[in-house]
Amino acid sequence: MRSNPTKGRAGLNIVRPLEGKPSVTSDIRANVAQYYDLNPEVPADVGFYTALVPSPEASILELGCGTGRVLLPIAQRCGYVQGVDLSEPMIAVCRDKLRRAHIPGKKAAVAVGDICDFNLGRTFDLIIAPYRVLQNLETDSQLHGLFRCLHTHLSSGGTCVLNVFRPKWMPRSCAGIGSRTKRPSAGRSRSRAVELPVTIDVLTSPPTT
Ligand SMILES: C[S@@+](CC[C@H](N)C(=O)[O-])C[C@H]1O[C@@H](n2cnc3c(N)ncnc32)[C@H](O)[C@@H]1O
């Protein structure tokens, strides 16, 4: 999609189709956002993230907050949580859930924006990106942008947790990395899933003195 990023009120880059162009959207979540919470495959990670909230007054930033699956439980345990997501339909579902849960704007707010290019003009005690948000980024420039934004928004002494999944690639799709086993009777090769080591780190920025 050709887009025309404009700075929103929250300092986020809001991605909109170019004016005068057909309003075709490339948001793959546009038609499925309302069903997202029915996905039976989401990880059981809410307890992990709520346990990271350092204090009831803490400020939290959730990158790629989607429909608020994690954001809403977090909002019950912290001073303030800000969510950012590129998908307007996902944010719309999240806003609706916040409204129905009677969670006020001073406790939780969400905005449409690109996590690779935003500036909220403040820092947060904890930044999280649950459920593979990082793996939605495809280019070095997006990753650099994300880490620039993390640097800008993480408080001194704050914690940042980025979730990634551990891929199981089939050898044919990653030549040179995988292995094949011979099936003696048929004499044909059989693919075997290969687990690649991925480390998930909890990074804490050192406090400045
Ligand atoms: C698999 S969903 C995870 C949603 C939520 N974190 C959860 O745990 O349920 C990935 C989310 O990342 C968002 N996303 C992907 N790329 C993004 C970007 N560049 N900026 C902001 N959000 C992005 C998608 O719109 C989607 O809502």
Give the separation between CA 83 and CA 76, rounded to whole angstroms.
14
Q: List, in sequence order, every residue forming a beta bridge with 204; answer none if it has no partner.
A: 159
Q: Is 197 exposed, middle or buried (0-12, 13-18, 19+ CB in 10 A)?
A: exposed
**Is the separation of the CB atoms in 98 and 34 below 8 Å?**
no
Q: Which residue has the tokens 């940042």?
A: 160
Taking the centre of ligand 1 as the mean of its atom positions, its distance from the CA of residue 71, in whole angstroms, is: 12
Assign 111 to helix, strand or coil.
strand
Taking the centre of ligand 1 as the mean of its atom positions, its distance from the CA of residue 187, in whole angstroms, is: 45
Domain with CATH 3.40.50.150 in the chain: 6-165
Tens place of pLDDT per residue across the chain (209 aa): 334 455 555 556 555 444 444 444 577 787 789 889 999 988 999 999 999 999 999 999 999 999 999 999 999 999 999 999 999 999 999 999 999 999 999 999 999 999 999 999 999 999 999 999 999 999 999 999 999 999 999 999 999 999 998 777 666 665 555 444 444 444 444 444 444 444 445 555 555 54
Which of 85, 131, 134, 142 gets mutated to test ligand 1 (max ligand atoms within 8 A of its CB)? Answer: 85
Give the separation between CA 166 and CA 200, rounded to whole angstroms.
9
Length of the chain: 209
Pocket of ligand 1 (CB under 6 A): 29, 64-66, 69-70, 84-87, 90, 114-116, 130-133, 136
Q: What pTM does this model have? A: 0.77
Would you identify the CATH topology of the domain 6-165? Rossmann fold (3.40.50)
